[in-house]
Amino acid sequence: MLKRVHFPASLLPYLLVAPQVIITLIFFIWPASQAVYQSFLIEDAFGFSTEFVWFENFEYLLQDDHYRDSFGRTIFFSAAVAFLSMSFALILAGFADRVIRGSTTYRTLLIWPYAVAPVLAGALFLFMFNPTIGIFPYLLEMVGYDWNHYLNGRQAMFLVIIAAAWKQVAYNFLFYLAAMQSIPRSIIEAAAIDGAGPIRRFATIIFPLISPTTFFLLVINAVYAFFETFGIIHAVTQGGPANSTTTLVYKVYNDGFIGLDLGGSAAQSVILMFMVIVMTVIQFRFIEKRVQY
């Protein structure tokens, strides 16, 4: 942690950490503590009076069907995004690992969506699935399927899931390919000599050996789907129709800035903070495992 040889204490180290610590205090610690404080308050509709109510906001939230629905929806959304983008990336990485020449070229061709902002990914998919001019609704109509995600909640959910998964494929592919390429060739060769075909080798050797990466990516994808997909949802569905795509983060924003329910929004923030802390702890534990491996 500290160097064996180091500089003696003076004013200098304090000056060096000062910018980081001041920004952390003003923009992180203070707002977070404000959120905790506000979550114990109820403000009347006109902002004239506030009342300290202990855990009433939380009790209200946990009994609120909208909130509970949005909780379940967020978990479904995250699981779907993680499963879709990870399995797609796993298949591609499995084949790219096999290709002798050109796997770097494929990597280049597959990693750039990482750089696309979530809201832009949303805009792209919105354009493709626009009910009046989009190409996919046009094709779907030819086979007799009616697409309108402005009215159909399931279709809206599907749309935000594939937009979010599309953007995340790049990241998953990169980590899966790196994990597969780090498996010693001798193990795979030994299995081949014993007569295991490519599919068997993948199922019994490659996939178990990259399981630490799978766990790691599961956590990363869950964090991504929870917190970084706001832009996609805001651009594509704005939480609608009828709240069918309102995730937890979108609800914090919506209740706080549109609904101006400060106490409720703050209580939701506190719950989310708690969840981030849990996810971070899990992430660190898995990463420790990964390092051992």
According to CB under 8 A, which residues from 9 to 38 bind other proteins?
Answer: 9-10, 12-14, 16-17, 19-21, 23-32, 34-35, 38
Residues 234-293, interacting with other proteins (CB under 8 A): 234-235, 249, 252-253, 256-257, 262, 265-266, 269, 272-273, 276-277, 280, 287, 291
Smallest gap, in angstroms, from Cβ of residue 284 to other proteins?
A: 10
Distance CA 195, CA 198 (A): 10
Smallest gap, in angstroms, from Cβ of residue 56 to other proteins?
A: 18
Smallest gap, in angstroms, from Cβ of residue 138 to other proteins?
A: 5
Instruction: Judge whether 218 and 282 are in contact, CB under 8 Å.
Output: no
Looking at the Cβ atoms of 9 and 63, the one nearer to other proteins is 9
Distance CA 268, CA 11 (A): 41
Distance CA 104, CA 170 (A): 13
* CA angle, residues 245, 269, 226, in degrees to nearest 5: 40
Widest CA span of the chain, in angstroms? 79
The site string for other proteins over 79-118 (x = CB under 8 A, - otherwise) reads: ---------x--xx--xx-xxx-x---xxxxxxxxxxxxx
| AA letter at 140 | L
Q: Which of 169, 222, 225, 267 binds other proteins (CB under 8 A)?
A: 169
Neighbours of 228 (CB within 10 A): 15
Residues 137-156, interacting with other proteins (CB under 8 A): 138
